Amino acid sequence: MAGDLGTGNITRKQHEEADKPEDSTLIDMQEPVEMTFALRYLNFFTKATALSGTVSLSMSPEVPLVVEYNVEGLGYVRYYLAPKVDDA
């Protein structure tokens, strides 16, 4: 991540042996992807976290990020975010 105030990177690794299932991290990867997103919008998406015990992030090359919260008994809340385009 890079912004007006600094830069940063986030790495998530598979972690299935958590004490509670909702604390697990499951990764199903067919091919590696590297994308850059506006943190401002991702922060907006986290407001739906209270609705669900889990969140699913789906990424594919040339396709927007899909952030999905399953809401028990009601359905889901799904957000889409296009990656930043490099102007270089």
Residue 30 pLDDT more than 80?
A: yes
Task: Judge whether 79 and 45 are in contact, CB under 8 Å.
Answer: yes
Separation of alpha carbons 42 and 81, rounded Å: 8
Beta bridge partners of 79: 67
Looking at residue 15, the DSSP 8-state letter turns out to be B
Give me the pLDDT at residue 40, please.
Answer: 87
Domains and CATH numbers, the chain: 33-81 (3.10.150.10)
Residue spans of beta strands (DSSP E) within the chain? 56-60, 63-71, 75-81
Separation of alpha carbons 60 and 29, rounded Å: 10
Q: Model pTM?
A: 0.73
